[in-house]
Chains A and B, each alone.
Chain A
Amino acid sequence: MMSKGLKATSFGAACALALAFGLAGATAPVTAADPIEPGRFVWRDLMTKDVSVAERFYGELFGWRFEKTKRGDRPYVIARSGNVPVGGIVDVSNLPDAGPQWLCFMAVADVDKTVALAQSDGGKVLVQPRDLPLARAAVVTDPQGAPLGLAQMRGTIPLPAQPTQGHFFWQEYLAKDAAKALDFYKRLAGYQPVVSDTRLGVEYHVLMKARGGAGLFQLPATTVGIEPNWLPYVLVDAPDQMAARVTALGGRILVPAAPERRNGSLVVIADPGGAPLALQKYPY
């Protein structure tokens, strides 16, 4: 027979558990006064089929450290540069169609309406809107097939005055049709594009909000094997020197440093799993 003391303790524990998990299950409402400007890129998640290899690569290359967490019953790794969370790693080995890639999340005012807009323009929904601890989020492909995360954020994420070494600081849309992409993203996020460069016959569009945060240009017709995508950029001091470390760590160089490409300040790599990523010195 149970004693009164045990009964009382069990009741108290049950109340504590109910309270704690009730809190865990609840999500804070998204307020209308979202302080994060729509169009700003707020997060990047790596889709990979080998999390431990990715941790080793990015840990050695950028000095990131990793924290194992969970999303529901699935593991989820948060990458930190110092104490600052810079990205996540998602194991997609159970998704047969999943290719290695960094998925960039753009802040939007209303994720459900933005998903509907993407669909009406010919995009597809990869992940329906769902409530996550940090945001109400969804993943779509845009009309040119590029995957894009959409996040209706809760709370704020500080925007540093200057980019930080080893952090994501830019993203770039490589379009098959720049005009159509500009039209789509202007309506999606309210961007006001500004042409910042026209050398070599290519118009480079900075997607302006309060401050630039993304670029867009058209892939040349001669490009083979690259479909429209959002390419994330990490700030590094010496991309050409880092390229040698990339190959030593099992990665590949997709676009080497060259004088005609931003004075040799850019290297595009693939991590050991194959996810592309740009290493950029800035200013250059």
Chain B
Amino acid sequence: MMKRPNIVPRVVILVLTLTVALVSLSCESGGGMGVGVGAPTRWGGGTGAPPVFVGGPSY
């Protein structure tokens, strides 16, 4: 019977596998939304007067 040389301890393989899986998890679960939307832009570049920006932020 062929015997596999036990060069790398099983626990190391297990830890590495778990690390890779968790890295994948962290990439997926980061912040943000990331939803692509196929909607045209709303600023088409007109030649009329720009909006009258009165008022403004009130933080």
Chain A: residues with CB nearer than 8 A to chain B? 1-3, 5-6, 8-9, 12-13, 16-17, 19-21, 23-24, 43, 45, 47, 67, 69-72, 74, 76, 78, 85, 87-88, 90-92, 94-101, 103, 105, 126-127, 130, 132-135, 137, 139, 141, 145-147, 149, 151, 162-163, 169-170, 174, 196-202, 204-206, 211-212, 215, 217, 219-220, 222-229, 233, 254-255, 260-262, 265-266, 268, 270, 274-276, 280, 282, 284
Contacts and interface: CB of A to CB of B under 8 A. Distances in A.
A42 B56 CA distance: 19
A185 B24 CA distance: 38
A140 B52 CA distance: 27
B39 A99 contact: yes
B42 A16 contact: no
A204 B55 contact: yes
Nearest to A21: B21
B10 A170 contact: no
For the complex of A and B, 7 pairs with smallest distance between CB atoms: A225-B46, A204-B55, A99-B41, A20-B21, A224-B46, A224-B48, A229-B42
Interface residues on B, range: 35 or more
A274 B41 CA distance: 8
